[in-house]
Amino acid sequence: MLPGPTWLQFLLLGALLHGIYAVIFPAPLPVLGPPSAARVALLAENYAQLSRQSASPEQLQRFVDLELRDELLFREAVKRDLHRIDGAVAQRIIRNMVFLDPGSLLSDEEKIERGFDLNMHLTDEVIRRRLVQIMEQLLVAAAAIQPATESELQAIFETRRDEFIDPLRVSFSHVFFGERSKQAVDQALARIKAERLQGPDARRLGTAFLAGFDFSAVTLQRVTATFGEAFANSLALAIEEGAQPGDWLVIDSVYGRHAVAVTGLSPSHPLAFENVQEQLAWEEQKRREQEALDAAIEHLMANYEVRRS
């Protein structure tokens, strides 16, 4: 028998039964998803255009997960009324209202409230992306992530030491001859060597080249971007075979024929920790932020019934 008066016994019994019912029959979770098929299809189309290949089933599933993730963050942002306190959202609402009614005499504050009444914050794609971004920033900030210490960065460096190599760098000048014959180029190059022509004096025997004539400590990747892969490969082969500063080479590019004077070489070499410490700190901070964000999203996702299809 429960203690106390009858009314209190009924009250306690009712609370007990309510608690038992809540455990046995919990309130249904809000539903998240399934994502819009049109939005997933658009992601797949953009992927195909950029990668020049169709999205795989695994890639399509990642697109579904991405849409669910963004929808979750968007809902959480609206739940927290973040759309009402962000200046960029307010300006977007005002712009939309002016577009709908250019002659409106409403104040900016009235336009914003009217836009909210029309649910513009729920349908505008720019506002959606903005709120998702703000929510991400808030979740990362709430994690209070500590930056990596120097000893932690040093340990990371040791495990990735082979990644940090300063590549071969070459300095060179060139004279551009375009489509002239090899014989004509050989004759011009013989004159350059005989008269020891340099700089503008040597270039007068050639023609204009928009990308410039003097390149200092550039990587072969940069050479490829400027002159094409065949030119870069020929230059690399010449260096591998012993070309030294002061040597002249005749090399063809996608533009035509060049006489190239190697002026300096810096062999590839491992980078010291001090050279990459800042980069490592930035990468590790981003990794920790992403890890914290993923954990926070997973925690929020547990409050929803997630439907992927």
Domain residue extents for the chain: 37-145, 165-270
Please give the single-letter amino acid code of residue 152: E
Q: Are 175 and 259 in contact (CB under 8 A)?
A: yes
As a whole-number percent, the residues of the chain with pLDDT over 90 amount to 81
**Per-residue pLDDT at 254 exceeds 90:** yes
Q: For the domain made up of 165-270, give the CATH fold.
A: Chitinase A; domain 3 (3.10.50)
- The residue-averaged pLDDT of 165-186 equals 93
- The residue-averaged pLDDT of 204-220 equals 95
Check the CA dihedral 120-122-128-133 and report its sign: positive
- The residue-averaged pLDDT of 115-140 equals 96
Reference 260, options 269, 273, 247; nearest CA is: 247
The two structure tokens encoding residue 286: 């981003």
- The residue-averaged pLDDT of 120-149 equals 96
Instruction: Place 11 in a pLDDT band, splitting at 50, 70 and 90.
Output: low
Q: Rounded to two decimals, what is the model's pTM?
A: 0.74
Task: Express each pLDDT in 257-284 by its tens digit.
Answer: 999 999 999 999 999 999 999 999 999 9
Task: Express each pLDDT in 99-122 by its tens digit.
Answer: 999 999 999 999 999 999 999 999
**Per-residue pLDDT at 1 exceeds 80:** no
Beta strands at 257-266 and 269-270: parallel, antiparallel or unpaired = unpaired
pLDDT for residue 8: 55
pLDDT for residue 6: 63
Spatial CB neighbours of 306, under 8 Å, sequence gap ≥ 6? 32, 33, 68
Instruction: Place 51 in a pLDDT band, splitting at 50, 70 and 90.
Output: confident
**Per-residue pLDDT at 75 exceeds 70:** yes
Question: CA 83, 136, 292 angle in degrees (round to 5)?
Answer: 150
Instruction: Place 158 in a pLDDT band, splitting at 50, 70 and 90.
Output: very high
Question: CA 36, 40, 41 angle in degrees (round to 5)?
Answer: 110
The mean pLDDT value of the chain amounts to 91
pLDDT for residue 182: 86
The two structure tokens encoding residue 108: 């900016």
The two structure tokens encoding residue 174: 């060139």
Strand runs (DSSP E) across 211-296, as ranges? Answer: 214-219, 248-252, 257-266, 269-270
pLDDT for residue 29: 86
Please give the single-letter amino acid code of residue 58: E
**CA 226 to each of CA 20, 213, 232: distance values in angstroms, whole numbers, following the listed order:** 74, 11, 9
Strand runs (DSSP E) across 226-279, as ranges? Answer: 248-252, 257-266, 269-270
- The residue-averaged pLDDT of 62-71 equals 95
**Per-residue pLDDT at 241 exceeds 80:** yes
pLDDT for residue 136: 98
The two structure tokens encoding residue 177: 């001859």
**Per-residue pLDDT at 309 exceeds 90:** no
Q: Are 89 and 95 in contact (CB under 8 A)?
A: no
Question: N- to C-terminal Cα distance for the chain?
Answer: 52
**Per-residue pLDDT at 68 exceeds 70:** yes
